[in-house]
Amino acid sequence: MKPFFQMSHVTKRFGGLEAVSDFSIALERSELVGLIGPNGAGKTTTFNMMTGMLRPTEGDITWKGENITRLPAHLITARGIARTFQNVKLFNDMSVIENIMVSCHYSINSSFLAAMLGLPGHRKEEQRIREHSLKCLEEAGLARLAFERAQNLPYGLQRKLEIVRAIATEPGLLLLDEPAAGMNPTEKIELSAFIRRIREKSGITILLIEHDMNFVMNICERIRVMNYGRSIAEGTPGEIRTNPEVISAYLGGAPHAQD
């Protein structure tokens, strides 16, 4: 059986620097996988390649049997891979619901002329998008903030809104880049419950980058470890915790990537 999502032998070079080298990963339907590694290991670069923000120098990425390596970002989103960003990237000067409504833009069928003339077909579509967005907000418990400006939300809610915005594109694979960064312990507990709930309800695959080890060990079924652009280990949380190579990567033991 073909894997749901596969990245095979992907390399990314920035000039002389090899940010990601020969990295492969396969994800199955409704898995929850963690991607960890010290700073600068190439995790975010990997995400950027998966979502079309960067083009790999070598290697292929396939999604549901289709090669998406060279597709631009917006088409990859339309095919069902959504992401959040390491530093919150909301549309600050727009309301919460407008932030979500942008995620439905790729699915809009009526032309700009219909929008400019206010034709009934377009109005119906606007209505559908509005209802879908409100439903997404309700499920996340953000409906009462729908008309608040995004930049006025507290940090934890901004992070949450970013996840909701990604889910509103109705993805099959969700990539979360450090979703718990900067959150306090209570917010982290809420977040992990929220992520679990999303997965149980919609059955989507989630791949997340995170530095908080408790958070990752707690939530993920499988963990992949990167260092210096290479994959150094994979396994269940228990295996990763005791893997000597991972420990040395984090604590700076014997350097392993120099050869």
Partner 1 sequence: MSDKLKSGLNVALLFLLFGVLFLFNRYGTGYQLRILNNIAIFITLAVSYNLINGVCGLLHLGPNGFIAIGAYTSALLSMTPAEKELNFILGQVIWPLGVIQVPFAVSLMAAGIAAAFFAFLISFPVLRVRGDYLAIVTLGFGEVIRVLCNAAERVTNGPLGLKGLHPYTNLWWSWGVATVAVIVIQRLIASNYGLALKAIREDEAAARAMGVNPFRRLMLAFLISAFFSGIAGGLLAHLITTISPSLFSFILTFNLLIMIVVGGLGSTTGAVMGAVLFSWGGEALRIVEQPMDFGPFTIPGIPGMRMVIFSLILMMVILFSRKGIMGRSELSWDYLESKLIARKAR
Closer by beta carbon to partner 1, 126 or else 245:
126
Q: Counting contacts by CB under 8 A, is residue 53 touching partner 1?
A: yes
Judged by CB under 8 A, the residue of 1, 93, 154, 258 near partner 1 is: 93
Element (H, E) at 83: strand 81-83
First CA to last CA distance, the chain = 35
Judged by CB under 8 A, the residue of 85, 194, 215, 228 near partner 1 is: 85
Region from 5-13, 54-62, 84-92, 204-212 binding partner 1, contact rule CB under 8 A: 84-92
Residues 213 and 238 sit within 8 Å (Cβ to Cβ): no
Stretch 63-82 residues interacting with partner 1 (CB under 8 A): 72-74, 77-78, 82
Beta carbon of residue 186, minimum distance to partner 1 (angstroms, whole number): 27
Q: Counting contacts by CB under 8 A, is residue 246 touching partner 1?
A: no
Judged by CB under 8 A, the residue of 44, 46, 69, 103 near partner 1 is: 103
Beta carbon of residue 183, minimum distance to partner 1 (angstroms, whole number): 20
Cα dihedral angle (239, 244, 250, 255), rounded to 10 degrees?
A: -150
Sequence-distant (≥ 6) Cβ neighbours of residue 30 within 8 angstroms: 199, 203, 204, 205
Judged by CB under 8 A, the residue of 115, 146, 181, 189 near partner 1 is: 115
- How would DSSP label each residue in 246-258? HHHHHHT-S--S-
Q: Counting contacts by CB under 8 A, is residue 247 touching partner 1?
A: no
Q: Counting contacts by CB under 8 A, is residue 148 touching partner 1?
A: no
Beta carbon of residue 13, minimum distance to partner 1 (angstroms, whole number): 21
Q: What count of other Cβ atoms lies within 10 Å of the Cβ of residue 89?
A: 13
The site string for partner 1 over 33-52 (x = CB under 8 A, - otherwise) reads: ------------------x-
> Helix 120-140 and helix 155-167: axis angle, to 10°?
130
Closer by beta carbon to partner 1, 115 or else 189:
115
241 φ/ψ sector (left φ>0, alpha ψ -120 to 50, else beta): alpha
Number of residues that bind partner 1 (CB under 8 A): 37
Task: Please name which of 111, 219, 106, 76 lies closest in space to residue 168, comparing C-alpha atoms.
Answer: 106
Closer by beta carbon to partner 1, 23 or else 47:
47
Stretch 170-209 residues interacting with partner 1 (CB under 8 A): none
Task: Please name which of 179, 230, 180, 251 lies closest in space to residue 42, comparing C-alpha atoms.
Answer: 230
Q: Counting contacts by CB under 8 A, is residue 134 touching partner 1?
A: no
How far does CA 5 lie from the centroid of its chain?
A: 14
Closer by beta carbon to partner 1, 21 or else 48:
48
Residues 176 and 167 sit within 8 Å (Cβ to Cβ): no
